[in-house]
Chain A
Amino acid sequence: MSELAALSNSYQNWYRFSRNPTAVIGLLIVVLSLLAALLAPYITPFPDHVGAIVDFRNRHQPPSLEHWFGTDNVGRDILTRVIFGLRVSLMLAFVVLVIAVPFGTAMGLLAGYFGGWTEIVIMRLTDIALALPPLIMALAVAAVLEPSLMNAMLAIASLWWTWHTRLVYSMVRQIRALEYVEAAETLGASKTHILFREILPNCVSAIAVKTSLDAGFVILIGASLSFLGLGIQPPTPDLGTMVSDGASFLPDYWWESLLPGTAILFVALGFNLLGDGLRDLFDVEDVR
């Protein structure tokens, strides 16, 4: 009976989701990007153009049947490099979120449930962190430590968790006053049980929406950082660096900057549409 209910529930969800065209487009874009990044060596026309290859006779070739996105300043196929560049972008989003989301959620749970000094300390910390623009923080950290994209992204992760903390905190504040939580407390359930079995599951949909929206933003920030010169070591392709390198050839060789830029837009847009779709689906308010 309960299995059937669960099934019909998820079917209902899927039905509602699939009625929302933007959400479906978002999902498609995200799945497509993930697949492209995963299968990059098999689907790209010139997989060796990711490594140490130069072909100066073919530099600055405009888009053609052979090179759909044209070639760059050392004659490498831009389509190939864009698809491989997705790997870096998605990896960055993954790194930041895999750190920020669980940590931020845990902090939010603690602050919201225990209140008192725990709440004051955690929430004031988030206030401080939220006052720092992530891009500036990333540049500062990169300047102090080794200037690498990974350090910059870790700096961003160190700020990003606060958004999740605030979100979860506000939800926990509401949920902990609900009767089923009181009931569990009355029954003598442990705090761990209440936090992770009673409260957390009711925050999951909001966290999912927020995470999906975040992925888009993190990809944009990662691209901005590599545009500003904190890119990954060449010759590994990286979308932000490609835009930045290509910009010096504007407007003549527009494809070198514009097409990688479009790829960034595409992925970030995909995650945002998906996030918006999920928000409509779960009917979550106040995420962002």
Chain B
Amino acid sequence: MGKRTVIPFGPQHPVLPEPIHLDLVIEDETVVEAIPSIGFIHRGLEKLVEKNEWPEMVYVIERVCGICSFGHGWGYCKSVEGNLGITVPPRAEYLRTIWHELGRIHSHLLWLGLLADGFGFESLFMHTWRIRESVLDIFEETTGGRVIFSVCKVGGVRRDVSNEKLAEIAKMLDGIRKETEELSSVFLDDISVKNRLVGVGTLSEQEAIDLCAVGPVARGSGVNNDVRYDGHGAYPELGFEAILEDGGDCYARCKVRVREVFQSMDLIKKAIEIMPDGDIDIKIKGNPEGEFVGRMEQPRGEAYYYSKGDGSKFLKRMRVRTPTNANIPALVKTLQGCDLADVPMLVLTIDPCISCTER
């Protein structure tokens, strides 16, 4: 047995765009234990429900995270809509689905870039982010914002997208698909990339179930817990099937995300084809009363939105549980026994979103 040393990792670390702190107990070059400490970006925004009226709260909830911003807004709206007992017009649900899936493409491309940066493949990082900019262009054309666009509201969406524009988006997606295909072969087939990913940080199926892993981390270990099956948005009509891999290592998690990028493109194209015409929002009377839980499949996994109203303009309680929070136990588990040099890879492959985690 070698000498044990504790190495602090973070909060300010070149591989992390966001602060998280890990105390790594190492023996020679092997990590024996990892102790995470969080709280560097805790804001306490759930408490703001007491100061913001429930329609205004959408703006705050969208700022839980700037990467999956639209999904958070949608999750909150879904929860309050459940409370109010209203049904959103189908066109609004389709538009939400399209924006959410575009958000997934942008989030996964962003993550693939950060992964490439993490293993030192700088040009791959640059190319991935170049492709991501085209997705942001679609956002900007349809909503006016690049990352946070406040287009979702309780009862529908704020902006309609014309059918001509939608056809244009479908065409743009073809271009993005072609470029992404070129890059995905590097992520999945390149020997030097495989060297860093295959067999690193393996999480077995049983461990993923025991540790309640969510999203691509669980799906990379063969656990199907995709919340899109529960029938929200336009997913039931789109005929959707979750992507599963059974390796459980960093490579499997990477592969799930690469495949999901293409799957999202297919879902968007199908949604554009079968999108119904009609209203994009409904008028709301009254205030939310009672409790409701809405679940969403964010790019990082299952997110959970709870709202409790008492018939006044202010909600009594709002709670968000985000996917990274659920994946931290899985991260700590995979870190045990890995090489010190692989720590950044492992931290990255759960796609940590710390501002989601700490809110």
Q: Do A and B come from one complex?
A: no
